């Protein structure tokens, strides 16, 4: 089966840098995605890594190491509005389709 592990909670202060790790177990692999969710609202796509290395999008970066089955989301220059839940996700391998299988999410709390 597939499983994803990520920390349940992370706390940081404004202006800091925080890294949210995700380890996964899949029989095959089609890339790792990250989504942000504020207060149970719509999950919002942040980034996607199919190949090893770092992808940068503004203050957010995402890293993937396929050999380690590991990735992380890096948030820089933290702002209060970054307080949210962050989910890593992989594509469903069982049916080799496009559905996303999500981790349990990491709640990030940013304080002033």
Binding positions for another protein, rule: CB under 8 A: 30-31, 33, 35, 37, 40-45, 48, 50, 87, 91-92, 95, 97-105
Instruction: Give the DSSP letter of residue 39.
Output: T
User: Judged by CB, which is closer to another protein: 42, or 81?
Assistant: 42
Shortest spacing between CB 97 and another protein, in angstroms: 4
Q: How far is the CB of 112 from another protein (least distance, A)?
A: 26
The tokens of 102 are what? 């999500």
Residues in the chain: 112
CA distance 75 to 36: 12
- Rounded to a whole number of angstroms, the minimum distance from the CB of residue 15 to another protein is 28
Distance between alpha carbon 39 and the CA centroid of its chain, in Å?
17
* Nearest CB to another protein, comparing residues 47 and 78: 47
CA atoms of 41 and 52, how far apart (whole Å): 30
């Amino acid at each position: 089966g597939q499983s994803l592990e990520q920390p349940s909670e992370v706390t940081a202060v404004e202006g800091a840098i925080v890294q949210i790790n995700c380890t996964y177990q899949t029989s095959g692999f089609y890339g790792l995605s990250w989504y942000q969710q504020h207060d149970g609202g719509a999950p919002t796509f942040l980034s996607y890594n199919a190949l090893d290395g770092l992808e940068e999008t503004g203050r957010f970066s995402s890293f993937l190491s396929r050999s380690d089955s590991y990735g992380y989301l890096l948030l820089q220059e933290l702002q209060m509005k970054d307080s949210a839940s962050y989910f890593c996700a992989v594509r469903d391998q069982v049916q080799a389709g496009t559905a996303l299988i999500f981790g349990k999410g990491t709640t990030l709390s940013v304080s002033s």
